Structure 1
């Protein structure tokens, strides 16, 4: 025996998380066993898959199981599996650090959580189930050996800041997690986790559906005629929940299964249990979560659902079965006719998998559509949590674009308190209105105060208020809805007048064009580095100026998005529109006609352009110059 030990420190954020978990009070600490069993089940599934992919891997998969062992005298509980196991580096990577995005945000939310239930939901959301062991254990010991390797690893910690790693020359394949339990304390709401009935009850409640047997050796008391004996019992039924008829499954069973596959602590928002029959058979049990995971928009976030073939686990996070915009969907798909020895690359090209994917997507979108119609509160929860991701489907999934547009909800000037759908907007359109007007920006307040909105507000036209980054892209890609063009209030010419109003105002407009011709030409020259044209505006009522784009120009926000992604795009000059009725503009015209100071007038034109940019939430090219000119002008007024 030549064991080699090394003491290491937890990663800083892992240490903070452990401290929060160990020293916080939770309403139900039993879930630690569910988490350890789920990890063991995953290890068994991974070993089965590894043995199919690597024919040279010398492992026995004939009796994959999970064993629970208790020692009442020593107050220890061990969860053991004969699965894939871990190497030393994997132990350090998986347990010693938290190498996932969103850790800092998780810690912040945990500290701010108002109650224990909220804390549990956050922990489950992040997927750090192993650490739950420290809620009930004074010390945790893990012994593991990866399949195919000769040596093993022991990991030990009290959860206080350091852990010890020991290399072992001899260890059983798989992983054994031993908890040195805290003393039983009724005041601390700790059950006796060495008691058979406690373990049975927890396994039944949380892990009855695990596909592998969960075994425990129990003592049977002796009698006068027979001595005490021990026997090994299987604690779970191992029934595949998705294979049972829907009417035979209780809601609580669905919820616990969801928590198993998602590592979430909250019940799902909606359950989808479906069966595909015909030339290609499959069963699917899918869930829409109640809240978005912290890594929903992280490239490293989990994607896809679990794939089984004839009850045999094939892969976790099978993104071939679920489009990226539905990446938050959790669950299981069990196909009957796929090859068991199938690689990820082949799977992505498989015709049958693509067919299943199409059916799953249509069912999920149909379910959301039903929520929107029949359960608006639940639909609002769904859209609040997942709407920005679902809108990505308008770019990716042309086959379901019509359905996606039907379930879309956006803010609107029609009702500050409620969102609307496109159908509702079209129903409220004014007589003769041919376009669906929208505005994009960082937030509702910025958009509503934008100069671009003035004419629409004055004329009573409803405008959709789009604040998600993806909105900039999908409105351009979709282009229209129900025969109505989607049109930005910040692009092109705007003419909201009726025929009668247009006729009555034509003479006045012609007069203004004549009066302002020289000023417009001069300003176009002065601001040539920033704008491609200066023209009179028909969309402004109170502001002196605004900056707009041509009908087919890329928006500044979209331009910044492309640059942030490393894509070079040519700089697009926009159009400066000025309000001929505003005192600043009329004063500028008179000063120009009277031959005022060239530099002073040029600086006024710069200020006018800069304020127009700021009013729409844009960025100044040279903020320091703008501030200096403004300060000089203000000083002259004192």
Structure 2
């Protein structure tokens, strides 16, 4: 008897009995029922309803009531039996005919258990495996079509369709590929690893527990077990498949992974395979769209065929490494780099490499323009991912390239890679190392070619990524010589700021020079003044200047280049012919012996030997045979870990210049005042250790120096010759001490000067302009910025070095104008966007203890600029800024017409508006003060503000700037009328009218108000638009707060002109100018529109000559200066009895 594989219910048992009853009756009445019906019913033994068809809403087979009625039918009622037979034969494909249950073989069950529980480290890879299988099926279909074989459903588009059903707890993965017949289902899904599986399991059993892991990894590439990974998350798996070969029956395969499976026929299955995964309760999250989409993007984003998830195509990025370089544009490569590297910069280099041996490889590498390690952020992760046939195997693999190449981003794809059974790791370490060596050499050779082809570009690369090249020299011995050719350093034979290579150094060497000399110093100036450089300078021998202890360690590892030894100038054995010092003094040979013995005895705790040398010309002594800076750093690290202080265990060799005046005078001093001479000798040794970089803390040398100074001051007048000699020595020592101490004394002096400067009466200064100079022109909003006093040479604003101006990405021009008017510059800050739109903020200079002003106009794109501002504030806080002030030329969401419509009062509209929410976010981020333009509102007779009382807000009103412009720059004819375009602008228009009357008192301006029409057009309650006030024969100035689409302005202008107005002008603070606003202004009858530059102009938009922009930078600059110095602001002055302030303090 055939087992159906489903648990019968009462209704199912009745249906089964009915079917069998029909079969028996049909056998007795075969002539009536028909031969075909008899044959079918003789085969029918059971039925199982298909959940798949039930989900489709298909009608079930005859109901239980119908079958019961058939049982009561008389035996000779042939018509009823015929109807029942036809009904049974009409049962659709949700009944699986002849369900064939089979058992997995014993070794197959064991291997299935390994696949389900041991191989994979992450359950989510089952989606990758099933998509890979679907892609393979589509590739096979493409090959089958190329052979001319007749294909079923040839019109179907090749694609992979994934459907999630959270309610049912299922995940369905379907393809329109080659499909499988019944035998292929049994062969491919019912049997794991047909060849060799039993032998493998026997080997696994024979292996010890410690070797089982190695045995497991030994089945690389031998078993197609990816399909069975679905059982990690599934209670049951169903596979519906229709072979692409025409005429074959569709089938269904299902199993719960317990050791058995069953195969049955199925109808209405389209070409290809559909896998229905019934998820376990603990794995229901794999039935959500978001989870599945993230997995697809991580592993299968570059699959060749479309992957449609719940109706949306997921894999939209192409695998560019599979294409010919001529088929891909630079822009496509750039976008691909930004996608895989999650970067926002442009790639500096692109490396494409393909190989066929020892295995097939396709690689695409990128080197970016910058990296984050230089800012002290976390160490970069490896950036090259491993793919096999465009399916991700390992993200950011550490095995493809050496660790020092972690700055490289890209992909490596190969169909021949030896992968582990789970396809999560590469195997065969020897082959991996060979691939890594080949790729590493390829990248190094590419950089060598680029360094010759475009040297300036490569120097920029080396400046940015040189630390990785140096790390490679120290860690990658096999490629050390090749990497050494990429090194770039300054040299004593090239101009400052220019770099040279080791090859160029060798080309300039004399033929008899077998060494390459280098000198490690913090800066070029210190290197050129080093006593170790004196001999090379006199002999005109070239020395490379390296500026970091790391470089010292690098050169130590290079050791030899092109047959020449690389030696530090501190350890080089060089001598020059002495020509005596300029003082004419010199120690004789006998004096040298006596002085050397005395000096060694005096310094016996510090030196092991004292020698005389002719290599020195300007220095009295040096330390030789000491450890290099890099070795000392390593020893210090070891000492710190061991908790020991080993700094005093090693003694040094001291070389003395017998021709130096200090040494000659010291030799004479020891015979007169031995105590003072010993102090001077110790100080000479200390100075030599400073020059050698052996003193970690410069404060330790001050005690001895102070003792010498104190004793010299106590000397009597008859010792003036000796004092003069010491002064001569001190004059020579001072530069080295000043350099070592970091310019502490000079810094103190400079600080004192700056402090004195800051004590000047700042109220007598106006951006560096004397108080008695006319103040109107320099600070007029329409005064040219290039003629501003701050831009003149020699102008200085004391204390401006304590403030920093930074600009967001919304309005850099305004921030730059403000900074120039303050006599400073915009601070260095990097604002970027990652590929997914996230904002990156990096400060390029120190703001510790500084007053920071962040200029950001919250215009379009509004939300991006808000987030950017919040992150800028957070970044400045983390960088320890003293105070953070945000300067908001335009504040988004503040417009009264966009306030909360659900609020019950006008005041609550502001309190509950999104503008107030933005203010709260700024307060939470730690803003200390806000400077804004035209931010305030008057609500029920009181000033209202979005910010709480905890944040001081200073608001500049630009009305008087507009008044000044129209009074001085526009020819206005009388009478004049100032008009408010809406009730909300009545106050602004009144202030404008009053200010204009004070500028032009001979003919006071009148006032008018524009009222919008109400009601729908054509309705009986419609009120047309109108102007309250007389505008006949007048020049009208419309005063608004912002211009959005210009439609109201155009409508108002036409109405005013129709009522007899001569000309219509407009003044507004904020030029939003959305859509075709400027073109509408151009086409309208308005004479001129004057706005402030609080919002930048769109360079791509249409611009009209009727629009005039006034700069708000002078007012903001003066307010920032006044705020920074806590001084009087001239824009805060009162012009008359009425208060027409530019600035309102909250």
- Tell me the TM-score range normalised by the shorter chain: 0.5 to 0.7
Partner in structure 2 of residue 272 of structure 1: 351
Distance (whole Å) between structure 2 residues aligned to residue 328 and residue 273 of structure 1: 16
Q: Which range moves more in the overlay, 538-547 or 366-375?
A: 538-547
TM-aligned CA deviation for residue 473 of structure 1: 2.0
SS at match of 1:392: helix
Partner in structure 2 of residue 561 of structure 1: 634
TM-aligned CA deviation for residue 544 of structure 1: 1.6
Contact 1:51 1:59 in 2 (8 A): no
Partner in structure 1 of residue 544 of structure 2: 464
SS at match of 1:172: helix
1:69-113 per-residue CA deviation (whole Å, 9 max, x = no partner) reads: xxxxxxxxxxx998xxxxxxxxxxxxxxxxxxxxxxxxxxxxxxx
- 1:172 has 2:252 as partner: no
1:572-617 per-residue CA deviation (whole Å, 9 max, x = no partner) reads: 422222221221111111223x2x4443222111100111222344
TM-aligned CA deviation for residue 364 of structure 1: 0.7
Distance (whole Å) between structure 2 residues aligned to residue 477 and residue 49 of structure 1: 50
Select the residue among 103, 117, 120 that pairs with 1:53. 120
SS at match of 1:268: coil
Partner in structure 2 of residue 575 of structure 1: 653
1:52-80 per-residue CA deviation (whole Å, 9 max, x = no partner) reads: 62487895556669xxxxxxxxxxxxxx9
- 1:396 has 2:475 as partner: yes
SS at match of 1:377: helix
Go from structure 1 to structure 2 and tell me whether the alpha carbon gap of 1:50 and 1:599 turns closer, same or farther (over 3 Å shift): farther
- 1:418 has 2:531 as partner: no
Go from structure 1 to structure 2 and tell me whether the alpha carbon gap of 1:396 and 1:582 turns closer, same or farther (over 3 Å shift): same
Go from structure 1 to structure 2 and tell me whether the alpha carbon gap of 1:55 and 1:495 turns closer, same or farther (over 3 Å shift): closer
Go from structure 1 to structure 2 and tell me whether the alpha carbon gap of 1:380 and 1:632 turns closer, same or farther (over 3 Å shift): same
Select the residue among 435, 445, 451 that pairs with 1:372. 451
SS at match of 1:331: strand
Distance (whole Å) between structure 2 residues aligned to residue 64 and residue 512 of structure 1: 90
Distance (whole Å) between structure 2 residues aligned to residue 634 and residue 485 of structure 1: 45
Partner in structure 1 of residue 523 of structure 2: 443
Distance (whole Å) between structure 2 residues aligned to residue 440 and residue 434 of structure 1: 20
1:29-44 alignment to 2 at 5 Å? none
Partner in structure 1 of residue 486 of structure 2: 407
Alignment length (residue pairs): 443
TM-aligned CA deviation for residue 468 of structure 1: 3.0
SS at match of 1:602: helix
Go from structure 1 to structure 2 and tell me whether the alpha carbon gap of 1:62 and 1:338 turns closer, same or farther (over 3 Å shift): closer
Go from structure 1 to structure 2 and tell me whether the alpha carbon gap of 1:572 and 1:211 turns closer, same or farther (over 3 Å shift): farther
Partner in structure 2 of residue 613 of structure 1: 689
Contact 1:275 1:284 in 2 (8 A): yes
Select the residue among 589, 595, 603 that pairs with 1:519. 595
Distance (whole Å) between structure 2 residues aligned to residue 330 and residue 55 of structure 1: 25
Distance (whole Å) between structure 2 residues aligned to residue 605 and residue 279 of structure 1: 68
With normalisation by structure 1, the TM-score equals 0.61
Select the residue among 548, 553, 568 that pairs with 1:473. 553
Partner in structure 2 of residue 135 of structure 1: none
SS at match of 1:302: coil
Distance (whole Å) between structure 2 residues aligned to residue 473 and residue 411 of structure 1: 17
1:196-275 alignment to 2 at 5 Å? 215=308, 232=311, 234=313, 236-237=315-316, 239-275=318-354
Go from structure 1 to structure 2 and tell me whether the alpha carbon gap of 1:628 and 1:53 turns closer, same or farther (over 3 Å shift): same
Distance (whole Å) between structure 1 residues aligned to residue 287 and residue 408 of structure 2: 30
TM-aligned CA deviation for residue 375 of structure 1: 0.8
SS at match of 1:292: coil
1:91-102 alignment to 2 at 5 Å? none
Go from structure 1 to structure 2 and tell me whether the alpha carbon gap of 1:238 and 1:394 turns closer, same or farther (over 3 Å shift): closer
Go from structure 1 to structure 2 and tell me whether the alpha carbon gap of 1:619 and 1:557 turns closer, same or farther (over 3 Å shift): farther
- Gapped runs of 5+ residues in structure 1? 1-47, 66-79, 83-146, 151-167, 179-206, 218-231
Distance (whole Å) between structure 1 residues aligned to residue 618 and residue 405 of structure 2: 44
Partner in structure 1 of residue 433 of structure 2: 354
SS at match of 1:538: coil
Partner in structure 2 of residue 381 of structure 1: 460
Go from structure 1 to structure 2 and tell me whether the alpha carbon gap of 1:176 and 1:562 turns closer, same or farther (over 3 Å shift): farther
TM-aligned CA deviation for residue 237 of structure 1: 5.0
Go from structure 1 to structure 2 and tell me whether the alpha carbon gap of 1:57 and 1:543 turns closer, same or farther (over 3 Å shift): closer
Partner in structure 1 of residue 709 of structure 2: 634
Select the residue among 607, 610, 623 that pairs with 1:531. 607
Contact 1:293 1:328 in 2 (8 A): no
Go from structure 1 to structure 2 and tell me whether the alpha carbon gap of 1:338 and 1:620 turns closer, same or farther (over 3 Å shift): closer
TM-aligned CA deviation for residue 302 of structure 1: 0.6
Distance (whole Å) between structure 1 residues aligned to residue 519 and residue 635 of structure 2: 20
TM-aligned CA deviation for residue 361 of structure 1: 0.8
Go from structure 1 to structure 2 and tell me whether the alpha carbon gap of 1:341 and 1:170 turns closer, same or farther (over 3 Å shift): closer
Contact 1:451 1:540 in 2 (8 A): yes
Contact 2:306 2:313 in 1 (8 A): yes
Go from structure 1 to structure 2 and tell me whether the alpha carbon gap of 1:339 and 1:61 turns closer, same or farther (over 3 Å shift): same
Distance (whole Å) between structure 1 residues aligned to residue 122 and residue 633 of structure 2: 50
SS at match of 2:396: strand
Distance (whole Å) between structure 2 residues aligned to residue 480 and residue 350 of structure 1: 31
Distance (whole Å) between structure 2 residues aligned to residue 268 and residue 81 of structure 1: 37
1:283-298 alignment to 2 at 5 Å? 283-294=362-373
Select the residue among 306, 309, 326 that pairs with 2:405. 326
Contact 2:417 2:426 in 1 (8 A): no
- 1:306 has 2:385 as partner: yes
TM-aligned CA deviation for residue 546 of structure 1: 1.7
Go from structure 1 to structure 2 and tell me whether the alpha carbon gap of 1:366 and 1:210 turns closer, same or farther (over 3 Å shift): same
TM-aligned CA deviation for residue 419 of structure 1: 0.7
Go from structure 1 to structure 2 and tell me whether the alpha carbon gap of 1:377 and 1:299 turns closer, same or farther (over 3 Å shift): same
Contact 1:291 1:385 in 2 (8 A): yes
Go from structure 1 to structure 2 and tell me whether the alpha carbon gap of 1:175 and 1:324 turns closer, same or farther (over 3 Å shift): farther
TM-aligned CA deviation for residue 211 of structure 1: 7.2
Tell which structure's C-alpha radius of gyration is larger. Answer: 2
